[in-house]
Amino acid sequence: MEYPPFKGGVASYYYNLTQNWPEAGSLTVLFRKYFPTPFQYLMYFFDLRQSVKEGQIDQIIVGQILPLGTVALAFSLLFSKPYAVVLHGMDFPLALVNWRKRLLTRMILARAKRIICANSYVAQLVKEFSANLNRKVVIVNPGVAEAGVVKAEQLAALKKKYDLRDDKIILTMGRLVKRKGVDTMLDTINSLGRRQLSGWRYVVVGAGPDEVYLRDLCHRLSLDDLVVFAGESSEEDKWVWLELADIFALPARNMAGDFEGFGIVYLEANLVGKPVLALDSGGVHDAVVNNENGLLVEPDELVSALERLMDDAELRQTLGQKGQMRAQVNFNWKNQAQKFYTALNS
């Protein structure tokens, strides 16, 4: 139900799997999204039946546990086709919101051949849900694609557009919703004081429902001259912003069960040699290792961690270099697709 041209981390996960699948031509993508009615299950079922017949499919990968897992369960019971379920983040807690969904989820996972989790946090939630599922759980983190090529004139153009001059840049990039922690960053920057912030600017790239609230908070904290809200970015400009940054900071947090599933943008910042700053919440600790590719801290350590990165250029360089190597080696999409393939066929 999420696949390009649909945007987002889940869509990117599946697209990159198809592009790097070890057995070329053996993976068929069935991408549909019907209006949520009781009839959607029948439509998904018939679509699946047609694809299995035409493609001579041996096993099924289920991208969303509900409603698609229900379809795969029914199909498996009728035709004995094995299936694997992929879990990313909020998809699993949302599948447990009431007794009916919990029962259905338990049935889907009990019959699944494999439960592939995109991060260790979700994997732990599954194991806590039922110890009987432990042997089926495999963690396959998202990979990271190659960094975009950035030209000098692109860097100069963005600097001029936002009057960044020779300022050092703390960058946050993501959808403007509360769990991303932009308000936390504004409070953190305010706590540092003007003297510490001399020569630095904070740039927020992204759009979302909290933009008005965040701009208002920025104004109330008297940070308008230090903060740039750059709006939503193109894929091309994303890499320009990451190249311009000196520190990438995204203090995502768990809010009423809503959490960051992984945070591919941390690795994208690492790809261009930039250190990252994050809170230890959700699946973020799979993407960020403290003192290796960045600083992974608790909320009460955020101010001191940011100050440490701002004051120590050598530390920023070291973490950026280590992070770049880690992203290239440990999160290469070919390796991640191979892990996924092996999990299905072992």
Q: Is the pLDDT assigned to residue 269 strictly greater than 80?
A: yes
pTM of the model: 0.89
Beta strands of the chain (E only): which ranges?
Answer: 60-62, 83-87, 114-117, 137-139, 168-173, 200-205, 227-231, 247-249, 276-279, 294-297
Among 26-40, 72-86, 272-286, the range scoring the smallest mean pLDDT is: 26-40
Number of H helices, E strands in the chain: 16, 10
The CATH number of domain 152-330 is 3.40.50.2000: yes
Which of 307, 308, 305 shows the shortest CA–CA distance to 296?
305
Which of 261, 241, 180, 228 shows the shortest CA–CA distance to 9?
261
Which of 298, 219, 211 shows the shortest CA–CA distance to 251?
298
Question: pLDDT confidence of 193, banded at 50, 70, 90?
Answer: confident
Q: Is the pLDDT assigned to residue 212 strictly greater than 90?
A: yes
Q: Where are the domains of the chain?
A: 9-143+332-345, 152-330
Burial 143-158 (b: 16+ CB within 10 A, else e): bbbebbebeeebeeeb
Task: Give the type of residue at 304.
Answer: S
How far, in Å, CA of 240 to CA of 274, rounded? 13
Task: Give the type of residue at 96.
Answer: L
Q: Is the pLDDT assigned to residue 326 strictly greater than 80?
A: yes
- HSE-up (13 A, CA, CB side) for residue 102: 6
Per-residue pLDDT of 39-63, as tens digits, reads 899 999 999 999 998 888 999 999 9
Question: pLDDT confidence of 9, banded at 50, 70, 90?
Answer: confident
Mean predicted confidence (pLDDT) in 11-35: 91
Instruction: Name the architecture of domain 9-143+332-345.
Output: 3-Layer(aba) Sandwich (3.40)
Same fold, 9-143+332-345 and 152-330: yes
